[in-house]
């Protein structure tokens, strides 16, 4: 196999692993945050509005990790920075 084929193969495998592993962590984090928020609302229904707002902000921060992994995967597939190094060298 030539260098371009190896770079392409490794890039696709790495992109797949990045999005797979990068989405498992945030999924567990979101599930745990939602579980704790629902338990808190069940214990203190008067504070449901404040808890809900806080959970939405926390979920946005947690989801940003998965979005960063998605962006890295897209870069590796469509705008791979290693291609220019292999083709130019």
CATH homologous superfamily for the domain 7-77: F1F0 ATP synthase subunit C (1.20.20.10)
Each residue's pLDDT tens digit, 18-37: 999 999 999 999 999 999 99
Of the candidates 83, 72, 77, 75, which has an alpha carbon nearest to the alpha carbon of residue 18?
72
pLDDT tens for 28-73 read 999 999 999 999 999 999 999 999 999 999 999 999 999 999 999 9
Overall pTM > 0.85: no
The residue extents of the domains of the chain are 7-77
């Amino acid at each position: 196999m030539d260098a371009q084929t190896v770079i392409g193969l490794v890039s696709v495998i790495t992109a797949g692993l990045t999005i797979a592993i990068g989405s498992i962590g945030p999924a567990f984090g979101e599930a745990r945050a939602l579980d704790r928020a629902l338990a808190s609302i069940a214990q203190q229904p008067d504070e449901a509005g404040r808890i809900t707002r806080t959970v939405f902000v926390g979920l946005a921060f947690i989801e940003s990790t998965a979005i960063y992994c998605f962006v890295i995967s897209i870069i590796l597939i469509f705008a791979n920075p290693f291609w220019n190094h292999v083709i130019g060298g």
